[in-house]
Structure formats: C-alpha cells, structure tokens
C-alpha cells in the first residue's frame, strides 16, 4: 500500500500555466499521476497540453472529480489558493510555494483545522508513492517500490536518503516532504501515525533539522505508539543559536530546537539515530536485517 496518494489520486494543479507549474505537471504525468485539471484565473477553457484549465477550483472539482491539489502560485497569492482548494472540498492539498508570510499561514492553519483538510507544506517538495503517484517536484527516477516510509523536513536530504535506500535495494512506500517553514500543515507525528497504520510500511526514515520541537513530539509518539523501527538523522548540529540555517523554520530559539536535544530525545525513544547523513541507508539496512533475524528466531 501507500499513504495519502495512489493510483486513484485525481490531481488538480493550481498555477498550471506558469513556468514551474507546467514543468512539474508534465513530470507528474510522466510518472503516471492522473492530472485531471489545472486552475489559472482568466485562462479557463484553454488547455495545458491535454489538461483542461479552469478559472476556479470549484468548477474544476465539479467537472473532473479532482481529489488532490498541488499549488505552484506565487507566495502573495498562495494562502488564498489553499483556502480556495479547501472551500472546494479537496481533502488533500500540497503547497510547493515558499516564502508565504507566517501570518498568512497562521490564518490558513486555523481555517484548515475547521475544515478537516490535510495540507502538506508549504515550502516543500511534495510527496511520492513509489511506482504509483507523484504529487510534487521530487525526481521519480530515484525511487524504488518497497516497504520503507520516508518523512523529511529537508528536500535535499530527502533525495539523498531515498537514493541511498534505492542503491541498497531498499524500496519505499511513500515519501513525504513536510516543508521547512515555521508553520506547516502535516507534521512528523501526523505522518508517523499514517505509516504506523499502513500494513506495507515496515520501517520509517525520519529526517529532521534544528528549530521547533517537532522531533521531540515525534519521539514521544514513537515511544508510546510506534511498533515499527525508525531511523533518524537531524541536520544542523553545528548551527549557532539565533541564526537561521536555510529553512525559515530552521532556527534555534530555545533548548528544544537544538540538534543534540532532538537526537537525544529520539534515541531515548528507541530510534536508530545516525549522525552522518551518508549512513542513513546503511543504518536502515542494518535495522531491517535485524528485524528479519528476530522474525526467524
């Protein structure tokens, strides 16, 4: 199985006629994703390749049955785009856009909780269910269908981890790029809960970074409710306090935001923590081999 997206996903692209939107729409289609509609106000009635374009999300959903949206619109309009998708009844929204004002996301976050809509991102690479569906900007050719879930706050490290796993012959179920902003929709605990319930996911890779307390909350969930092994890496161990490192959310503003504190919390919860990003794949390989050995005994 996979989580959140699969062969039944009917994707709508908001901002489909822009440079980024059209480029990545074609890549999603090439991977096998069913892209059923695009939305660009003022361009309704046209097509992007063979994909029909609508003026509004509501109209696109009504005519195509779209059940997932991906957003490529500029930051100034991204919050409104998320709200429009939620109002149209789309249950899963993936926002790739970076640079959305934090106050906009405070409002969006509160609104989505009332609607019961799941948001991935913003400022994220999206998600991909190996061999089934791609909703985002990840490079599909590095993925291999298998039984390891991947959750990450870092796009670059997501690709690195997946490439290592694939090279070792360790396939993936679904890979989720959570996003690097201070306020995001789906967090580690949400994704871990989904992977815990997925019968085909046998283990999970978790890639965190400095800033916030997502990793500590994940550690608590893993300790109390997770029965599947987790391998983790935390980026930013050498980052000085008070200085943002890359992502808007990657800034140490308190003890809980430091890399070592996150690693300690995860290790205390039984997570296999590696300090070297080059060893994410090999660490998972050892964990899976150990799990297989325990089953035989």
Query: Which positions are catalytic?
Result: 247
Q: Kindly tell me the sign of the dihedral angle through the C-alpha atoms of 133, 137, 141, 142.
A: negative
**Structure token pair of residue 120:** 């991935």
- Going from the C-alpha of 63 to that of each of 27, 28, 67, the distances in angstroms are 23, 21, 12
Q: Kindly tell me the sign of the dihedral angle through the C-alpha atoms of 244, 246, 249, 251.
A: negative
Q: List the one residue out of 115, 69, 114, 117 whose CA is nearest residue 95.
A: 69
Q: Is 238 exposed, middle or buried (0-12, 13-18, 19+ CB in 10 A)?
A: exposed
Cβ of 292: how many Cβ atoms within 10 Å? 11
Pairing of strands 203-209, 172-177: unpaired
3-state secondary structure of 37: strand
Cβ of 76: how many Cβ atoms within 10 Å? 12
**Structure token pair of residue 44:** 């309704």
Question: Which DSSP letter does residue 10 get?
Answer: E
Q: List the one residue out of 22, 71, 14 whose CA is nearest residue 44.
A: 14
Residue with tokens 């909350």: 217
Q: List the one residue out of 137, 101, 135, 107 whose CA is nearest residue 23.
A: 137
8 A C-beta contact, residue 4 and residue 106: no
């Amino acid at each position: 199985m996979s989580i959140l997206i699969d062969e039944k996903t009917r994707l709508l692209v908001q901002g489909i006629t822009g440079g980024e939107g059209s480029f990545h729409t074609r890549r999603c289609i090439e991977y096998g994703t069913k892209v059923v509609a695009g939305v660009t106000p003022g361009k309704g009635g046209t097509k992007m390749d063979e994909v029909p374009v609508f003026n509004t999300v509501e109209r696109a959903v009504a005519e195509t049955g779209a059940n997932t949206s991906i957003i490529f619109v500029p930051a100034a309009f991204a919050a409104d785009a998320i709200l429009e998708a939620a109002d149209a009844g789309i249950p899963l929204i993936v926002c790739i856009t970076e640079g959305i004002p934090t106050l906009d996301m405070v409002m969006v976050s509160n609104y989505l909780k009332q609607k019961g809509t799941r948001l991935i991102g913003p400022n994220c690479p999206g998600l991909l269910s190996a061999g089934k569906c791609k909703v985002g900007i990840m490079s599909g050719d590095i993925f291999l269908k298998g039984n390891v879930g991947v959750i990450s706050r870092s796009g670059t490290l997501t690709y690195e981890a997946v490439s290592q796993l694939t090279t070792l012959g360790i396939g993936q179920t679904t890979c989720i790029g959570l996003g690097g902003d201070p306020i995001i929709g789906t967090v580690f605990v949400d994704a871990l809960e989904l992977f815990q319930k997925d019968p085909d996911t046998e283990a999970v890779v978790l890639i965190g970074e400095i800033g916030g307390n997502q990793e500590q909350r994940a550690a608590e969930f893993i300790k109390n409710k997770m029965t599947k092994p987790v391998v983790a890496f935390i980026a930013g161990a050498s980052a000085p306090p008070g200085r943002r490192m890359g992502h808007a959310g990657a800034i140490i503003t308190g003890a809980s935001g430091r890399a070592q504190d996150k690693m300690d919390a995860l290790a205390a919860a039984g997570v296999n923590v590696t300090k070297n990003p080059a060893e994410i794949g090999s660490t998972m390989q050892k964990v899976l081999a150990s799990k297989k050995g325990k089953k035989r005994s």
